[in-house]
Amino acid sequence: MKYIGVDLGGTGIKAGVVTQEGEILSKGSKPTRNERHYSEIIADIAALCGEVVRDAGLTMADIASIGVGVPGICDPKTGVIPFCTNLGWHEVPFVAEMHKYIDLPVQVSNDATVAGFAESIAGVSAGTESSVFVTLGTGVGGGIVIGGRPYSGAHGVGSEIGHMILQMDGELCTCGNRGCFERYASATAIIREAKKAVAEHPESAIMAKCGGDPEKINAKIVIDSAKEGDETGKAVFDGYVKGLAHGLVSIINILDPEVIVLGGGVSMAGDFLLDAVREAMKPLIFYKTMPYARVELARLGADAGIIGAALLGR
């Protein structure tokens, strides 16, 4: 049997037909146009599922199930999506709506969770039973795999690793709390600290790279400056790595997974980031003579969402 995976994002819907081993046989996409009513978006998702099945030379009879990764929280028991900020969704009966078009089992899960699951089947954490996927983007998302299965908690609100509190009374977070991990480990954190730093150090390479306009600073500019040895860039990068390392050590002390996988935009910094964070974690590890989670970079890139969603039904 084959599986359909859908990666539902705020700007685009991607879908693909995936084998049991996580290989993509066909894929396609459509714009989300999230100003529309959810019923129209879900009708498009169902249509896209039909298209990718035809593109793979198959029929729906060859498909075991449909999995959907959603940028929000999901109630896996009811198939309802209680919250999805990017889409403006609130209490959307996703699975029931899909069943108007396709008579197959449909499972929904958080997008970071399914991406982490994909890595644990066909990516860098393949063959492990437990892993934690951490997406370092505008915010910080998390995907937990335990016992080889995605773990979202008892009420579907778990694996919100970005909202673990790392600094009580610290930086204000979009969630309303202060000091959340994502305030220190996201691209947003790098940009915020770089803006502060260039105000004091206008000679920094960061300023040259952003054309003298701090509003144009992004994480890549800061990391590239650090790589080139710019002192201000290095200081911002080191501060970022410190926050990231502290958060990853908390994950190890709680969950002790086999692997921690770093994904998202900031992880594009590659070995420069990986080497720095591994080094920063060493002195923070609790049981220093015991083995602990290896930290790796995600490998599946943009296809992780389709693959992981598809394999929910495996």
Q: Residue 177, interface with a copy of itself (CB under 8 A)?
A: yes
> Contacting a copy of itself (CB under 8 A), which of 11, 35, 37, 168?
168
Closest approach of Cβ 47 to a copy of itself, in Å? 31
**What does the block give as tokens for 261?**
């996988």
Backbone angles phi, psi at 117, to 5 degrees: -65, -45
Segment interacting with a copy of itself, rule: CB under 8 A, options 56-64, 98-106, 189-197, 253-261: 253-261
Using CB under 8 A, pick the residue from 14, 27, 163, 314 that binds a copy of itself.
163
Encoded tokens for 297: 């970079």
Question: Count of CB atoms within 10 A of residue 178's CB?
Answer: 14
Residues numbered 178 to 197 that lie near a copy of itself (CB under 8 A) are 184
Q: Binding string, 15-54, against a copy of itself, x = CB under 8 A?
A: ----------------------------------------
**Using the rule CB under 8 A, is 157 a contact of a copy of itself?**
yes
**Whole-number minimum distance, CB 296 to a copy of itself, in Å?**
14
* Among candidate residues 78, 77, 82, the one with its CA nearest the CA of residue 38: 82
Please state the length of the chain.
Answer: 314
Report, in angstroms and rounded to the nearest whole number, the Rg of the chain calculated over CA atoms: 20
What's the token pair of residue 263? 């994904």
Measured between alpha carbons, how far is 314 from 67 in angstroms, rounded to an integer? 10
Residue written as token pair 């002192």:
231
Residue 175, interface with a copy of itself (CB under 8 A)? yes
**Beta carbons of 111 and 119 less than 8 angstroms apart:** no
Q: What are phi and psi of 97, to 5 degrees?
A: -65, -45
* Residue 146 in the binding site for a copy of itself (CB under 8 A): yes
Give the residue with the Cβ less far from a copy of itself, 107 or 130: 130
| Residue type present at position 246 | H
Residues 116-145 that bind a copy of itself (CB under 8 A): 128-130, 142, 144
In the DSSP assignment, the letter for residue 213 is -
The footprint of a copy of itself (CB under 8 A) covers 73, 82-83, 128-130, 142, 144, 146-147, 151-161, 163-168, 170, 175-177, 184, 242-243, 246-247, 249-258, 283-284, 286-287, 289-293
